[in-house]
């Protein structure tokens, strides 16, 4: 934008003196007519007339007729529908699933039993010595070699 064009825009956008805005406000207030309708454009849209002959109502009638015919020619409640018979043809029998579930339950029980055995297992107590080289010099429990008493022939009283 050129410098002259900018200057023109700035001069045009400057505010006017205060007395002219007061005068304009006073003149518009004195000529108030309370008519607000002439400022808006009229809606020129033409809407079609509503009736029961439209596509929606035609489809409603066709679907209801199809439903009535379907109920009339539906199979008896004791008969299986074609889709149900077709699904039953490709599914495994009930006994197969019962045996499979029983096998799975037995395997889970065995797995739990093994888990309990492993989880409850304890290591045997081991005496850790501070200086294991001392075993060569003396007994670990302060009992000299050969000083144990032979109590195999002792009978306890009852």
- 69-121 pLDDT, tens digit per residue, is 998 888 777 777 788 888 888 888 899 999 999 999 999 999 999 999 999 98
User: What residues make up the domain containing 115?
Assistant: 91-121
Averaged pLDDT of the chain = 79
119: closest CA among 111, 131, 127? 111
Task: Tell whether 96 and 117 lie within a shared domain.
Answer: yes
Residue 46 located in a structural domain: no
pLDDT, greater one: 144 or 130: 130
Total tally of structural domains belonging to the chain: 2
- 128-140 pLDDT, tens digit per residue, is 878 777 667 766 6
* Burial classification of residue 59, based on how many CB atoms lie within 10 Å of its CB (0-12 exposed, 13-18 middle, 19 or more buried): exposed
Residue 40 located in a structural domain: no
Contact yes or no for 130/136 (Cβ under 8 A):
no
**pLDDT at res. 74:** 80
Residue 155 located in a structural domain: no
């Amino acid at each position: 934008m050129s410098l002259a064009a900018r200057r023109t825009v700035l001069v045009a956008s400057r505010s006017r003196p205060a007395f002219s805005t007061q005068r304009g406000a006073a003149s518009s207030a004195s000529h108030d007519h309370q008519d607000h309708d002439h400022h808006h454009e009229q809606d020129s849209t033409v809407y079609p007339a509503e009736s029961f002959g439209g596509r929606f109502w035609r489809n409603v009638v066709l679907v209801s007729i199809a439903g009535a015919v379907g109920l009339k020619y539906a199979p008896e409640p004791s008969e299986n529908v074609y889709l149900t018979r077709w699904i039953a043809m490709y599914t495994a029998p009930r006994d197969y699933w019962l045996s499979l579930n029983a096998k799975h339950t037995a395997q889970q029980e065995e797995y739990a039993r093994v888990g309990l055995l492993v989880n409850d297992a304890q290591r045997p107590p081991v005496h850790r010595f501070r200086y294991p080289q001392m075993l060569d010099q003396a007994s670990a429990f302060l009992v000299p070699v050969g000083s144990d008493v032979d109590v195999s022939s002792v009978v306890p009283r009852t």
